[in-house]
Amino acid sequence: MTKNEETLDAVKMMRSIRDRISKEINGMTFEQQQAYIRERLGDGYGARFGCSRTETSPEPPPSRELGMNFD
């Protein structure tokens, strides 16, 4: 790597984004936070990449089909 190349510090970037969002939503109610997120996502995360939510995240099977019993 040369001196002119920049490296991506994903952890630092993630923390910076998280801290900025935390400051922006500080004091909001849960409903206001939900509206904030919906506004920022617009048509949805998947729509930005050419896919719908159902294409990337199908409904999970009921827990009984997975052999789990929570009754």
Residue 59: how many other CB atoms lie within 10 Å: 6
Q: Check if the beta carbon of residue 33 is closer than 8 Å to that of residue 25.
A: yes
In angstroms, rounded to a whole number, what is the distance separating the alpha carbons of residues 27 and 29?
A: 7
What pLDDT shows up at residue 3? 61
pLDDT in tens, 16-45: 999 999 999 999 999 999 999 888 887 665
pTM of the model: 0.48
pLDDT in tens, 43-68: 665 555 555 555 445 555 565 555 65
In angstroms, rounded to a whole number, what is the distance separating the alpha carbons of residues 58 and 43?
A: 18
Encode 11-64 in three state secondary structure. Answer: HHHHHHHHHHHHHHHCCCCHHHHHHHHHHHHCCCCHHHHCCCHHHHCCCCCCHH
